[in-house]
Structure 1
Amino acid sequence: MRIPTLRVTRAATLAGALLLGALLPGPALANASSDVEARNKQAVTEAFDRWAAGSTTFFRDILMPDVVWTIKGSGPSAGVYHGLDSFVSEAVQPFVSRLSAPVRPVSKQIWADGDHLIIQWDGAGVARDGQPYRNSYAWIFHMRDGKAFEVTAYLDLPAYDAVLQRIPAPTQ
């Protein structure tokens, strides 16, 4: 029986360490993931802050043109919208047109996990009939290059749909 030399033992140990390092996520991957999370959180936080300050470009600022936006639930507004223009024209604009004071975020919390963000926020506005509108939202953003390409939205749909049903759409 042959006894391994020190050189053979070191080579085997190094090879094992390299293989194990390739199979297990290391600090470099963890750092890259936390960098992505930080950049995504910053992009969304800044977009929310601009919106709260009065900007009307939130969706164009943070969504990719080919976004897939899903509103979960069973109300008339639940559904899937393919593309930013479709989402804005079919979901955002009909609602916004029934408001006299736009919905603005009044609080938010953001959690990041890799390229996903969860944003829990509360919004307040005023409908054209003078009634206040308040809602709580949870949005899950799947991000790429600082913009969301897929969104799943949860909200109190009866409150949202009540505005759409109670107030007629403005005539052109």
Structure 2
Amino acid sequence: MKLTTLALAALLFGGRDAGVRVMHDVHSTHTRAVIENGTVMWKVRLFSDDLEKGLRAYARRPAFALDRDPKADSLFTAYFNAKVSVSADGRALKAQLVQQGVDKDPVGGTVHWYLLQFDAARAPGTLVIRNALLAELFPSQANIVVLLSMPGEKRHSLYFGDGDNAAQTVELRR
């Protein structure tokens, strides 16, 4: 059986094919983070259905719905801070939510994105990052972090997945 690109994307990313909801087998988040001086701006994108399932479990609220709960942003921020850790030169930083939004994917699903900010007292020489978003739910969860350090636009890519969510160290001054 040959699958069209649209049908394959629907299978992989949870879109709709012929009006039937198809569950996706790919569970991932993608983060683009920029560090400049003592600020880390962190934009994470998550499949909406995975995120909703994760927040239901975290809050122990089976009826939780992202689009109907006025406290969804606060719940996400608490969950994020429980699952993602960032330390600058040994000092733990806490994320604060700056903005959020929803994007439609081409095959009918949705992706939630969140812009968060971490503040360090000064430009760090070392960041230690751990990202275990949704890893408690999906054994195959993959969390990708692309960190851009300014000035100079030096790029660092981190992968957290396959059950290994150990912290990783990024040296910013070399």
TM-score (norm 1): 0.32
Structure with the larger RCO, 1 or 2 (CA within 8 Å, 6+ apart): 2
Structure with more of its chain in helix, by fraction: 1
TM-score (norm 2): 0.32
